[in-house]
C-alpha cells in the first residue's frame, strides 16, 4: 500500500451485491469500552473522530467470489497523515492491519474515499493517523450499520471506585478531631445523655427548693 497514490477499486466492476451503509465513527472502542487515544477526552474526541470519518456515503460491496468490501469517506485529509486501519477481535484487541485503497478524492471538501476489504458488515476497525496541527497520533474506531438505522454511540466504561479507603480515612479524621473512634461513640453518647439528664433533674429540684424557701419566708 502506497499512501498518496490512487489505486483501482478493489471491488467495483462485477459486484454482485451493493448496499448503502452508514459509518459509525467512535472515539471509544465499541468492543472494549476503552479510550485508546492519548488525549483521553471523550467530550472533544467524539466530535474530532466524526470530522475524520464521514457517516455517509458508505457502501458495502460483495464480489462474485463472496469477498466483502466497504467504501467510506475520510475527512480533514490535508491536516492528517499516516492513515492506518486495523481489524479488531471481538474483545476489542487488534487482530491485524488492513491494507486499503484510495479510490477517489474531493479536494473542495478536503475528503477522500477509502475502500477496505472486511470479513463482513459487523467488522469494527481501529483508525489511527497523525494530526498535523496537533502534532500527535489520533486514535478512533469505525463500525458500520445499514443506512438510516439509529445507532447508539458507545461511551467509555467508568471504573468502579472502591470507597472503603475513603470511609476509613474519614473515620480516621473524625477520630483525630474528637479523640474517640466511631465504635466508642455509642457508649460515650449514652453516658453524656444520662449525665445531662441528671444535671437537668438536680437543677430543677434546686429551683423548687429555692422557691419553696422563698415562699415560706414571705
Q: Cα separation of 94 and 140, whole Å?
A: 13
Quick: pLDDT tens for 172-209. 455 444 454 445 445 544 444 544 554 444 444 444 44
Quick: pLDDT tens for 43-95. 999 999 999 999 999 999 999 889 999 999 999 999 999 999 999 999 999 99
Residue 211: per-residue pLDDT:
42
Q: Cα separation of 141 and 109, whole Å?
A: 22
Q: Cα separation of 15 and 59, whole Å?
A: 12
User: What band does 154 get if pLDDT is binned at 50, 70 and 90?
Assistant: confident
DSSP per position, 89-154 = PTTSSEEEEE-EEEEEEEGGGTEEEEEEEESSTT--EEEEEEETTTTEEEEEEEEEEETT---PPP
Quick: pLDDT tens for 120-134. 999 999 999 999 999
Amino acid at each position: 500500500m502506497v499512501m498518496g497514490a490512487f489505486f483501482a477499486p478493489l471491488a467495483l466492476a462485477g459486484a454482485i451485491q451493493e448496499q448503502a451503509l452508514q459509518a459509525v465513527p467512535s472515539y471509544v472502542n465499541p468492543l472494549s469500552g476503552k479510550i485508546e487515544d492519548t488525549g483521553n477526552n471523550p467530550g472533544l474526541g467524539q466530535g474530532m473522530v466524526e470530522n475524520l470519518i464521514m457517516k455517509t456515503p458508505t457502501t458495502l460491496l460483495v464480489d462474485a467470489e463472496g469477498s466483502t468490501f466497504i467504501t467510506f469517506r475520510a475527512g480533514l485529509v490535508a491536516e492528517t497523515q499516516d492513515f492506518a486501519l486495523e481489524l479488531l477481535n471481538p474483545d476489542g484487541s487488534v487482530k491485524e492491519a488492513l491494507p486499503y485503497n484510495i479510490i477517489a478524492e474531493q479536494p473542495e471538501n478536503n475528503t477522500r474515499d477509502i475502500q477496505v476489504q472486511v470479513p463482513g458488515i459487523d467488522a469494527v476497525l481501529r483508525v489511527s493517523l497523525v494530526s498535523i496541527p496537533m502534532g500527535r497520533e489520533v486514535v478512533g474506531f469505525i463500525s458500520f450499520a445499514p443506512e438510516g438505522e439509529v445507532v447508539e454511540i458507545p461511551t467509555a466504561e467508568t471504573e468502579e471506585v472502591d470507597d472503603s479507603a475513603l470511609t476509613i480515612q474519614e473515620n480516621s479524621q473524625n477520630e483525630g478531631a474528637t479523640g474517640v473512634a466511631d465504635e466508642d461513640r455509642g457508649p460515650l453518647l449514652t453516658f453524656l445523655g444520662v449525665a445531662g439528664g441528671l444535671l437537668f433533674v438536680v437543677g430543677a429540684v434546686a429551683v423548687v427548693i429555692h422557691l419553696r424557701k422563698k415562699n415560706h419566708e414571705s
